[in-house]
Amino acid sequence: METTLANLTAAVNTRLTAGLAALNDVAGPLTAEIAILTEDVGDLDTKINKAINEIGMLVLIGQPHFVNESPTAPASCLKIHFAIAIGELPTTWRDDGGLKPKAPAVVQYVTQLLAQYWIEGFLPLRVLRADFVPDKKRQLYELSLETVATINQIST
């Protein structure tokens, strides 16, 4: 199962990396790319702090978790949920020319990138909601996503 969830996270990371690079091209010349991290990377706290303090914009892909919708069937139908946090430290990220995309625009763009995005072995992704998370220092949003995967029992 770990491989299946790891494949999901890797595919989302690849989609966001390519998609946000295209957003940067549209928005104008940027001095730094938007940092994209996954929750399972080593020393995550240090990497988050560095991304926020040095770059000013971070997209963090959370660990997927699931509910088995068919626990007694020969194959398991897993309803998988995960979240993506999008945070901006305006004092670091924003530039005088207003060329860099602000957090709400990045949230909308990420939603468009991932809505109904198909990853092999999963049903198309569903973006369920975007929530603003109040914070005194930064703009922070959380996207909630869902997909479904069917897995078979491993024969030994």
The domain locations on the chain are 2-152
Query: Tens digits of per-residue pLDDT, 80-119?
Result: 999 999 999 988 888 777 778 889 999 999 999 999 999 9
Residue 67: band (very low, low, confident or very high) from pLDDT cuts 50, 70, 90? very high
**What pLDDT was estimated at residue 29?**
55
**What pLDDT was estimated at residue 148?**
94
Confirm whether pTM is higher than 0.85: yes
Distance of CA 56 to the CA centre of its chain: 16
- % pLDDT > 70, the chain: 91
CA-based R_g, the chain, Å: 17
- % pLDDT > 90, the chain: 51
25 contacts: CB under 8 Å, gap ≥ 6:
none
For the domain bounded by 2-152, which CATH number is listed? 3.30.2000.10
- Mean pLDDT across 57-68: 94
**What pLDDT was estimated at residue 98?**
73
Q: Up-side HSE of residue 65: CA atoms within 13 Å toward CB?
A: 5
